[in-house]
Amino acid sequence: MRGLGLPENEERRVSGTESAAQWIRTGPVDHGVSADAALPRRGNLTILTAGRPTHQSTAEAPQYGRGVTSLSLVESRQRAALLRPTSYDVRLDLTDAETFGSHSTIRFTAREPGAETFVEIADALSVRATLNGAELPSTAWSSGRITLTDLAEHNELVVEARLPYVTDGDGMHTFTDPADGERYVSAYCGMDIAKKVFACFDQPDLKAPITLEVRGEEHWTVLANGVVTFADAGTWTFATTPPISTYLFVVCAGPWHSVAFEHRGLPFGWHARQSLAADLERQAGELRAITTDCFDHYTRVFEEPYPFDSYDQVMAPGQNWGALETPGCVTFRDELLFRGEPSAAQRQQRAMTIAHEMAHMWFGDLVTMKWWEDSWLNESFADYMGYQVAAEAAGFTDSWIACAQTRKPMGFRADERRSTHPVAEETEAMVDVDTAFGNFDMITYAKGNAVLRQLVAWLGTETFHAGVNAHLGAHRFGNAELDDFLAALDSVSDRDVRGWARAWLGTTGFDTIRVERVDGVPVLHREGVRPHRFTVNGYDENGALVADQLVDLADGPLALPALRDLPVVVNAGDETFARVHLDEQSNAFVDTRLGQLDDPLVRAVLWRGLVDQTRTGIRSVDELLRLVARHLPTERHPLVFEGALNAVHVFVGQRLVDPTRLPHAHDVLATTCSLARHHHRVAATRVLVETTSDRELLEHWLTDGQTDLGDPLDQDQRWAVVRRLVALGADPGIIDAESGRDNSAAGRLATLRCRATVPSPEAKAAAWSLAFDGEPSNREFTAIVSGFWTVGQHDLLASYLPRFLTEAPAIAQRHGQAFSKVVGQSFPHLPWPLEVLESARSDLAARLADSGLAAGGLPTVLEREWNDLLDELDVTLRVRRRPA
């Protein structure tokens, strides 16, 4: 039983039983099988509304976007001014595989006795509610809310509901593992989603303690926000949490395989599905070391003690995000438990994610935003700390290299779109939760991270930490706003923090720093309004660093006479968030000496700049490919190699290349990978498989089970080889053969992806029907569409582009916010012929214009994604129209 405590550093292994429930079939799907034949069906369910039975098909049950109202800012303010919840008692019954029971007792006070408010319970199949002992009429429940009238000063609301499980990751997610038939159920909440699990006042500034009881299958382990206080005969109870927001509620139930240990007097654990037990055991040492190293660091940096009673981390199926910061029990995408050898970037990303979520225990969970415009206070801080602590405490010393090449470019791209917004958004702009959901974007994460890094450079690390500690101490277990954070920083610094915040947090876009030469002296010019502190490096003609300066750049030009006649690299330490245009001398130096520079962070910054120059039309695609061929095969650092290779492959090779030049681009990338150093082999093999046209080579690998260098192919690599062979015209029968080798959940998804890749009209029609006419889970939809839109198949796929724009909104309408985001991002960025791109851009613009006029329009989340897509298409068209 968890929570009993163990001696320091002692581990235990806990496994559920191996009895298997029958696997509920969702695939694989044969080429000629209809989507309907592959999807499970459920019969009619009895619906109880305030005690009266009716009958309603599952298909008619309330769905996202159909009668469920997104909470507005005005409503949240009114409710927060009226009431204060004092406790939640939640009982969940997960014993039924079709629906689950939810029983909530909410105690709350009202400042105005006799007033009216509402509580959320969404998508329920039946509801019965009593307020202060009086049963509420059926008419009180509508649009995912129960109206509460005639409030007393002290109130007790009891809501009993029967709710559907989901497979889209928003709510009580159910997953049956095809490897062994075991069932797993996890409550993934997040913004505006807790109401799909239990009745609650679902807004972040109405915090309250939560006491939980769960009924489930006897052989399960159940994990939640607190330690287990009782577990017997299929019932678990948990210690009451400190006051937390409803979006931070979590339950993870199933026969988890667990690696548990005690650290600093608290129970810790890593958990994964039974079928992933061997993978968890193999990686447990690294996962535990990262966890304890980060925890020790945070408990030194933060004066507030760790605020919860345990720290579990669950590799959970169906998780939409990289991870969720649910206090005491963090959930991660189970893809982060690697099946084979990970690349350097994958290991770094996982370490950063672990550190990121742990930072939230203080910044986000202990102290929480009042409304969603301050989501950046959570995410920008955690993103910055994730990279910093992974580097400083967890042994991933080159984390900022990965950030420079993978994270930061996302911030620049987001900041050039019409959807850009200040890092610290105006409260009134976040009119409701669906609108605010759009701000969980790369302005909030990547740019916010970069801005905070610049703040630390500007204030100093010790001053920044002092301000953070003042903020956490002043608002522990409460809610706070931007002004509160700035007041805390002000209290420990004599610098103009509020002026800095106005320039960096309250404005959109980014500055450009240009280098000019005056009598050989580099002169820096700023185009923009923000103060910048960064490093400038000067090199000799052979690429050796001979001088460096930390500079502050504001309104006027800044001459650097100490660097006269030297080629320079601006923002060499990647301290600030700005586009850099070097002078002609420095650009020529980069072209010839990039691969010889000693500092890998400098090389990473320069590769990011080269890709950006290609996207903005300063360099041609062919120019960039020449630099790839010249410098990447000899690149020494694995993160620099992988970051540059992936950026060129994804953001140039799959988007900006003319289809007639695609074979040349693929040849450059495949040759670069074949020449790469051996310690880059995982990343190089991945891109080589996706770009080579050598069927004989890939068939040889698959037969031998290893590359021509003798490195064994893991199962994920085998699937990548199968997919590429199918795309190149190999017999689709190899999919069935590989599926027979791999009956895992990942194997099922890989099967769907490969079958959708088959380059025949029949296979494409079957895949489309399964994705758009069926009801695939979030993971299944992603697998199908990623296989469907395969690079190089533009002739076969062009007719589907108009259908995508027509049919995608209905899928988004049926599902939650995160699934809508997936749908919006599933538009294919492929090397289309120019006329196809222009037609798609015109159709998308018309669809968005019509949405603004039509009643209801597009779902809010999808509309945001498609506006971003319109901007990305404009970038592609500008590059493609550039004269050769």
CB neighbour list of residue 391: distance below 8 Å, 6 or more residues apart: 397, 398, 399, 400
Whole-Å CA distances, 396 to 282, 293, 332, 347 = 19, 11, 19, 9
Question: Mapping DSSP to helix (H, G, I), strand (E, B) and coil, where does residue 665 land?
Answer: helix
What is the residue-wise DSSP string for 565-590? Answer: T--EEETTT--S-EEEE--HHHHHHH
Helices 715-727 and 695-704: angle between axes, nearest 10 degrees? 150
**The tokens 């109870």 sit on which residue?**
237
Distance from C-alpha of 724 to C-alpha of 730, rounded to nearest angstrom: 9
Residue in this structure with the two tokens 């120059």, named with its chain if needed: 613
560: enclosing H helix or E strand: none
What is the Cα–Cα distance from 612 to 409, expressed in whole angstroms? 8
Q: Vertex 629, ends 627 and 633: CA angle to 5°?
A: 115
Which runs of consecutive H residues, i.e. helices, occur in 594-656?
A: 600-615, 621-631, 638-647
Nearest residue to 276 via CA among 26, 24, 21, 15: 15
Amino acid identity of residue 87, one-letter, is S
H and E: helices and strands count for the chain: 29, 32
Other beta carbons within 10 Å of 588? 12
481 is a catalytic site residue: no
Copy the structure tokens of residue 589: 């130096």
Q: Is the peptide bond before 28 cis (omega within 30 degrees of 0)?
A: yes
What gap in Å lies between CA 148 and CA 102, rounded to an integer? Answer: 19
Q: Please write down the HEC assignment for all residues of 133-151.
A: CEECCHHHEECCEEEECCC
Cβ neighbours for 640, distance < 8 A, ≥ 6 positions apart: 401, 405, 600, 603, 604, 607
Rounded distance, CA 798 to CA 837, Å?
10
How far apart CA 406 and CA 604 sit, in angstroms, is: 10
Q: Which of 182, 262, 357, 379 is catalytic?
A: 357
For 668, the enclosing helix (H) or strand (E) is helix 662-675
Output the six-digit token pair for 41. Answer: 């069906």
Length of the chain: 884
Task: Give 423's contacts (C-beta < 8 A, 6+ positions apart).
Answer: 376, 380, 443, 444, 447, 448, 451, 504, 505
What distance lies between CA 625 and its chain's CA centroid?
30
Name residue 831's beta-bridge partners: none
Sheet holding 323-324, edge to edge: 11-14, 257-263, 266-272, 311-316, 329-333, 323-324
Instruction: Give the sign of the dihedral formed by CA 555, CA 559, CA 565, CA 568.
Output: negative
Residue 811 and residue 769 in contact, taking contact as beta carbons nearer than 8 Å: no
Considering only CA atoms, give the Rg of the chain: 27
Calculate the CA 240 to chain-centre distance. Answer: 29
**Residue where the block lists tokens 């002739």:** 795
H or E stretch covering 200:
none
Q: Give CA–CA dist 224/227, Å, rounded.
A: 7
Work out the angle at residue 309's Cα, subtended by the Cα atoms of residues 306 and 315, and round it to the nearest 5 degrees: 95
Reading the block at residue 39, the tokens are 């999807």
Residues taking part in catalysis:
357
